[in-house]
Homo-oligomer: A and B are copies of this chain.
Amino acid sequence: MNLDALYSELTLKMNAKVVLVVLDGLGDIATREQNFLTPLEAATTPNLDALAKESAQGRMIPVAPGITPGSGPGHLGLFGYDPLEFQVGRGVIEALGLGVELQPGDVCARANFATLDANGIVTDRRAGRIPTETCEKLCAMLSAKVKTIGDTEIIIKAGKEHRFVVVFRGKGLEGPLTDADPNREGFAIPTVKPRDAKNLKQKKMAKLIADFYKQALPIIAKEKPANGFLMRGIAHQPEIPLFEDRYKLKPAALAVYPMYKGLSQLVGMKKIEGPQTIAEQFERYVAEYDNFDFFFIHYKYTDKAGEDGNFTAKMKAIQDFDAALPILLRKRPDVLAITGDHSTPCAVHGHSWHPQPVLLNSKLSGSDKLERFTETGANLGSLGVFEAKYLIRLMQANAKMFDKFGA
- Interface residues, chain A, with chain B CB atoms under 8 Å away: 1, 3, 6-7, 10, 28-32, 36, 53-54, 59, 63-74, 83-85, 87-88, 90, 93-94, 97, 345, 347-348, 350-355, 363-369, 375-376, 379-386, 390, 393-394, 396-397, 402-407
Contact = CB atoms under 8 A, between A and B. Distances in A.
A404 B73 CA distance: 10
Nearest to A351: B404
B69 A406 contact: yes
Contacts of A31: 363, 366-367
Nearest to A363: B347
A387 to B, nearest CB: 9
A67 B369 contact: no
Contact of A364 (B63, B87, B348): B348
B366 A354 contact: yes
A279 to B, nearest CB: 28
Contact of A71 (B54, B350, B407): B407
Contacts of A355: 382, 384
Contacts of A366: 28-31, 345, 354, 375
A364 B379 contact: no
A70 B406 CA distance: 5
Nearest to A36: B367
A397 B353 contact: yes
Nearest to A63: B405
A337 B66 CA distance: 14
Nearest to A2: B84
B379 A381 contact: yes
A34 B97 CA distance: 48
B406 A73 contact: yes
A36 B69 contact: no
Given A65-B394, A66-B396, A84 B29 contact: no
B29 A367 contact: yes
Nearest to A54: B32
A355 B386 CA distance: 13
Residue from the set A90, A379, A384 with the largest chain B CB neighbour count within 10 Å = A379
A369 B377 CA distance: 11
Contact of A402 (B7, B353, B383): B353
A67 B8 CA distance: 11
A223 to B, nearest CB: 27
Nearest to A94: B407
